[in-house]
Amino acid sequence: MLRFVRVAACAALGLLAAGATATEPIRIGVMGPFTGGSSPMGLAMRDGIRLAAQEINEAGGLLGRPVKLVERDDEARPERGAQVAQELINHEKIVTGLGIVNTGVALASQRFYQQARIPMITSVATGSIVTKQFLPPQYPDNYIFRVSAPDTLQAAMIVEEAVVRQRLRKLAIFHDSTNYGQLGREDLEKALERHGIKPVAEERFNIREVDMTPQLARARAAGAEGILTYGLGPEMAHLANGMVRIGWKVPLVGSWALAMSNFIDNAGPNAEGTRMPQTFIPESDTPRQRNFVEKYRKTFGVDRIPVAPAAAQGYDSMLLLAAAIRQARSTEGPRLQDALENLKERVEGIVMVYDRPFSKTDHEAIDTTRFLVIGEIRNRHVVFAYDEDRKRDAQSK
């Protein structure tokens, strides 16, 4: 009798263990800058991912299991990003990764995802080489995907705005000293060259630099009619404020980071009229996008999304990953990678409707300017600069 009880007890424990395994959460790593100057992008991205994960769990999870986000602050520092990636992979045992805001962090950290054969869907970082680190023939399989707009596309739009639409010919380039700024400068130079233009001045600045009047004075002396920028919110605010301080007002056109709340808030009225490419503008007028904005504001208790494209891209990256997990019926890295490259499900995101967004040779969800528009800062909000962009945006989504 005692032996029977023991056998029954062991059987019951076995069933409990099996049940625990069946409901073990799917652990997904989320890394980004949640503190510091890049934090508006990181927090908006993280909350977009959280919102999508919440909706997925409310609908029953994935493969009968809940989604668990394992979040880490990479502080926008490449060395910290590399440490975070290893921690998530080796200690937290994540099955895949989402996030990354800064290009330098991406280049330093994503090699650990590649080595572990764990897909990383980059939600925000835009450096043109982000998805090209691990290409054939050296690497038969590339585990790095992206849903943000590469800088090659952004640079082309920035130059088109300045040269074609605003008819400026004498242009200065201002860029920060990070990988993001240096690579962005190169993309701007190439885009200008296609129009037969060389910048009249190129000025570099460091992160946390506050006085840019010397660089601005040199650009003005060179006869610049406008400034093209590649930098982040805090430094861009110092740039805009410095222009007013020296009494020089010319058009400011730059990368999508000019939509960061810490640029808009710190520059105040000096940010008015600034233009930049955007994948998503909160005043977009489709039911899906309106619902996203309203739900984001209500869930996180804010009146304004800190960086709307980062939030939308974070949300969409989680939806794409979920579709891949459903298709693969697995959380194994190689099977997820194959599913992403051959995604059959049509995913209705916020930036766009994703229909086979990736392939074996193309890991960029956004590889055309069709899904980008020009935003403009008016009354401390990012709005459509052109009505035709507003109409085209609504039609494409």
Cβ atoms < 10 Å from Cβ of 330: 15
Low-confidence ranges of the chain (pLDDT < 70): 1-22, 396-397
The per-residue pLDDT for 23 is 86
- pLDDT tens for 2-35 read 344 344 444 443 433 334 345 899 999 999 999 9
Helix H, strand E, coil C: the string for 274-343 is CEEEECCCCCCCCHHHHHHHHHHHHHHCCCCCCCHHHHHHHHHHHHHHHHHHHHHCCCCHHHHHHHHHCC
**Confidence (pLDDT) at 5:** 39
| Structure confidence at residue 10 (pLDDT) | 44
pTM over 0.85: yes
Q: What is the DSSP string of 112-126?
A: HHHHHT--EEESS--
Q: What is residue 106's predicted lDDT score, i.e. its pLDDT?
A: 97
> What pLDDT shows up at residue 18?
38
What are the residues whose beta carbons fall under 8 Å from the beta carbon of 263, sequence distance 6 or more? 232, 233, 234, 236, 237, 240, 257, 271, 274
pLDDT given for residue 215 in this prediction:
98
- Which domains can be identified in the chain, with CATH numbers? 24-149+285-366 (3.40.50.2300), 152-278+374-396 (3.40.50.2300)
